[in-house]
Structures are given as structure tokens and as C-alpha cells.
Amino acid sequence: MNPASNLILVGPMGAGKSCIGRRLAERYGLRLADADREIEQRTGTSVATIFECEGEAGFRARERATLAELLAGEGLLLATGGGAVLDPDNRALLRERGYVVHLHVSVDQQLERLARDRTRPLLARGDREQVLRELSEQRAPLYAQVADLRFDTGSMTAADAAAHLADELDRSWQRTAPTLGAPA
């Protein structure tokens, strides 16, 4: 069991990290941070524009810095971007600073959930199904490497997934209280 005051959600796009994260943050009284939204607020532009102007490497550098800053505190529910696990330093940070839940979803379910989404830069390049399969092959072992718990969001709604995941977290997550005087 990994005792931690932070709860971190990792997984592919469309797994429900943001939607489920909102519900879990409320349930556990955690401050919610969505890494991609934080980057957008700090830069004043969209992830897609960052990818366009700086490339994926530029975005990943911003992501690394944002994760380090966010995870310096305690009492946080962090919804990461799908590629946050690509960087070995990010993986170490995630494991060190929180209880990590891998939200799993199949490629078919991703395609269904993301059918109308045109905001994701990695899906703008060719055959969406092929891109998602390649990303899954590359990232699934990395999600497994950092995860304390794997949870399949399957065909559940975000509300149902959050409720079922909370039941599992109540059994498996030994939440530690934030340290007095620690940044929240």
C-alpha cells in the first residue's frame, strides 16, 4: 500500500481522468488540478497551439515543469495528460508524490468517446484508430509501471466509474493527511 496525500490519475485520452477526477476530488476534499488545463492557463493558449508552435518536445518540457510544481504540494487530485508517463523523471515523481491510479479504457471505447473531439493534437495526424493503438502499445507498460491501482472505466458513465473507483480506493488507498505548513 502506498500511503500518500495526493491522488494521481494516469491513462490514455478518453479514459475519464478529468471527469472522474472532479468527482473524486469532491468526495475526498482534494484540490483538483488538470495538468493540461494548468498548462493552458499558464501559457494563455491551447495544448494544440503549443504542439503547433513548439512541437511535442516543447509541450513535454512545459508538462514536466508543471507536474513538478503541482506535486510539490499535498492534498491534490491530479489528472495528468495521457503522455505524462513518457518522461522517466515524471514517472519517478508520480510514484514518489502520490497514489497513482491507471484509468484503463480500450481503443474501441476511446474511439467512441473521442469521436467528436477535434482538440487533441495527436489525433489530428492520420487514422485515429491506428494512432490510438500505437499510443496504447507505447504507453500501457508505462502506466502499469507507475500505477498503484488499475481501474477499467469500461462502458461506465463517469459518475458510475467514480463511485466504483471510490469504493476501491476506500479499500486500497491509505491516505495520509497533509503535513502542517506544507503547501496545498
Q: Is residue 181 part of a domain?
A: no
Measured N-to-C along each axis, helices 47-70 and 35-43 cross at an angle, to the nearest 10 degrees, of 110
Q: Is residue 92 part of a domain?
A: yes
Q: Is residue 26 part of a domain?
A: yes
Q: Is residue 1 part of a domain?
A: no
The domain that holds 81 is classified in CATH as: 3.40.50.300
Q: Is 175 annotated as a binding residue?
A: no
Q: Is residue 37 part of a domain?
A: yes
Q: Is 144 annotated as a binding residue?
A: no
Count of C-beta atoms within a 10 Å radius of residue 62: 18
Q: Is 139 annotated as a binding residue?
A: yes
Q: How many domains does the chain have?
A: 1
Q: Is 27 annotated as a binding residue?
A: no
Of the listed ranges 3-12, 72-81, 126-135, the least confidently predicted one is 126-135
Name the β-bridge partners of 4.
175
Q: Is 25 annotated as a binding residue?
A: no
Cell, residue 166:
471510490
145's CB contacts (< 8 A; 6+ apart) are 85, 91
Q: Is 83 annotated as a binding residue?
A: no
Q: Is residue 31 part of a domain?
A: yes
What is residue 25's predicted lDDT score, i.e. its pLDDT?
A: 97
Instruction: Give the dihedral of Cα atoms 133, 102, 23, 47; nearest 10 deg.
Output: -50
Q: Is 16 annotated as a binding residue?
A: yes
Q: Is residue 182 part of a domain?
A: no
Q: Is 128 annotated as a binding residue?
A: no
Q: Is residue 180 part of a domain?
A: no
Q: Is 44 annotated as a binding residue?
A: no
Q: What is the pLDDT of residues 55-105, one digit of tens each?
A: 989 999 999 999 999 999 999 999 999 999 999 999 999 999 999 999 999
What is the value of pTM for the model shown?
0.90
What average pLDDT does the structure give for the chain?
91
Whole domain around residue 24: which residue ranges? 7-172
